[in-house]
Amino acid sequence: MLLTKYGETLNRENPLSEYPRPQFVRNSYINLNGKWKCEFSKSKKLPNEFNTDIIVPFSPETPLSGVSRVLSPDEYLHYEKKFELPENFNKGRIFIHFGAVDQIATVYLNGTEIGTHKGGYTPFTFELTDYIKQDENVLNVTVKDYSDTKEYSKGKQKFKRGGIWYSPQSGIWQTVWLESTPAQFLERVKITPDYDNEQVNFEFFGTDDVITRIYDGENLIAETKETTVKIPDFKSWSPESPFLYDVKFQACGETISSYFGMRKFSVGEDENGVKRLFLNNKPYFHNGLLDQGYYPDGFLTPPSNEAMEFDVKKVKELGFNMLRKHIKVEPLFWYHYCDVNGILVWQDMVNGGGQYGLEISVLPFIGVNLDDTNYKTFKRTDKEARELYYQELKETVDYLYNCPCIALWVPFNEGWGQFDSKIAYEMLKKMDPSRTVDSTSGWHDRGYSDVISKHIYFTPIKVKAGNRPYVLSEFGGYSQKIEGHTFNNKMFGYKIYKSKETLTKAYKRTFEKTIIPQIKDGLAATVYTQVTDVEDELNGILTYDRKVVKIDEATIKDINRRVKL
């Protein structure tokens, strides 16, 4: 069993215990992570007995759950957790929050069905006020997960795992927690920096009677009931200077803490007329890594918040300024660490769809661009699954909107579950005009995107500047196997090297001979594959357990000082 150092020291009684929403902190919190009971069953009906211990929020398939059992598509996974409310916890209303449950979750409290949520990667909330008791409460969650046997979003999970496809997992995989609010309360705030007009806009939900206080460090710089607040001579947020303003919202007898960064993402032309990505009205090169966010002991679930922080800080320390979060939505703390440390984020939506044929993956290499309104070709014939994708897209944008680090949305990757990319692009631009969009990362560009997006692993990289910024959104994938630090004995990689020295030499040669010289020709961003090894895929800069850096760190840092405009 391969463990991270964080998994080795897991607190099984109270894992991932920190308040999970640093972008909107309310002074009310009960963490429900830890020991639960579970049962596998062919019936949707709640079982009479729960005999198996499970550590939530780790999926039963993971080592850290203590179960190590795969949920099959014809089964249900039932959870049970008993808890009591502390005295004076109830301020008027009580809510339960689930960070993510894969794939379809029905929640019960004290025998009453509370609600159902579909979608394995986005958070959801149910109100418990009318069903909760002051003494012992019984919480049940019933989960159905079809994984890759249906067209629902499943990311990179596959029952027949291997290569670039990873182990299936199910059930609760992010934090479960309770909070209490007054009867009327500030439900959420949408924060939009307006860089050009030296102001920030607040949109309030639940109540509009809000006093907003903005702080520069310890100094109060604004106190108002207005929804648009001027900040003359503001401090910009960027990877070089990730300055964050603290903000407190006073509403309905509560004070809620948040923060924001003053920054602007756009597209424009540099002094030579070449299309570039812009940050704060200046051309800016995005130099990043592909980040799958997998762990050998928790799979999609980080073994601790410190594990997420380590990844972000290591990437920053090596000199990168961006991460492409690949086919996964992380807990909010991951984005918080990117906000604080100054890492731009390209956020993928999670893919669905059926098992497509070779035409999707082969034809792009001979210049054939398929029409994604043909649902049959892209194996997107299930109307319910297509509608659920749009629901998840909206939930993802709402969830991450206030994170200063989010620079770019990626609705589709390499044709996986792609459909109607024009509609997805227009939806994103309407919901969030403050970010750029890479509609179809890698393949099957239908003309509705803010960038030219290419994945190049096997052919020479030749940048062709055009009417949009040219981004190399995946490349590299250089691999080395480090004995004692692998998930199993299998190995997948695009180019395989036997030693740290030969791997470092190849990495250095690619950047010095191919990447850096083509920046002047129009290359606007790069995404090297990848941060860590994942299962069979051994092309990480770090091993899967994060214990070995496989490429010479000094070389990476030296190169990154030169990967810029």
**pLDDT confidence bin for 312, thresholds 50/70/90:** very high
Any residues with CB less than 8 A from the CB of 481 and at least 6 apart, and which?
491, 496, 538
Nearest to 329 by CA among 299, 363, 300, 358: 300
Which pTM does this prediction carry? 0.97
Instruction: Report pLDDT digits (tens) over 489-529.
Output: 999 988 999 999 999 999 999 999 999 999 999 999 999 99
Instruction: Report pLDDT digits (tens) over 451-479.
Output: 999 999 988 999 999 999 999 999 999 99
User: How high is the mean pLDDT of the chain?
Assistant: 96
Helix or strand holding residue 455 (H, E): strand 452-456
Q: What is the pLDDT of residue 356?
A: 78
pLDDT: which is higher, 324 or 367: 324
Any residues with CB less than 8 A from the CB of 362 and at least 6 apart, and which?
none
Strands (E), 501-541: 523-529
Nearest to 285 by CA among 499, 531, 463: 463
Please compute the mean of the pLDDT values over residues 161-187 and round it to a whole number: 97
Which tokens is 366 given? 């001979």
User: Is 80 exceeded by the pLDDT of residue 359?
Assistant: no
Name the DSSP letter for residue 46. Answer: P
Instruction: Report pLDDT digits (tens) over 409-420.
Output: 999 999 999 999
Cα–Cα dist 186/181, whole Å: 9
Name the DSSP letter for residue 378. Answer: T
Instruction: Report pLDDT digits (tens) over 45-72.
Output: 999 999 999 999 999 999 999 999 999 9
Peptide bond into 57 cis (omega under 30): yes
Q: What is the pLDDT of residue 357?
A: 76
Please compute the mean of the pLDDT values over residues 264-285 and round it to a whole number: 98
Please compute the mean of the pLDDT values over residues 309-327 and round it to a whole number: 98
**pLDDT confidence bin for 361, thresholds 50/70/90:** confident
Q: What is the pLDDT of residue 168?
A: 97
Taken as a whole, the chain contains a residue count of: 565
Which tokens is 399 given? 């969830």
Instruction: Report pLDDT digits (tens) over 182-222.
Output: 999 999 999 999 999 999 999 999 999 999 999 999 999 99
User: Is 90 exceeded by the pLDDT of residue 367?
Assistant: no
Cα–Cα dist 153/350, whole Å: 6
Which tokens is 500 given? 């740290």
Please compute the mean of the pLDDT values over residues 138-163 and round it to a whole number: 95
Report the percent of the chain where pLDDT is more than 90.
96
Q: What is the pLDDT of residue 494?
A: 87
Backbone region of residue 446 per phi and psi (left: phi > 0; alpha: psi in -120 to 50; beta: other values): alpha
Please compute the mean of the pLDDT values over residues 133-141 and round it to a whole number: 95
Q: What is the pLDDT of residue 134?
A: 87
Please compute the mean of the pLDDT values over residues 346-350 and round it to a whole number: 98
Please compute the mean of the pLDDT values over residues 15-29 and round it to a whole number: 97
Please compute the mean of the pLDDT values over residues 430-441 and round it to a whole number: 98
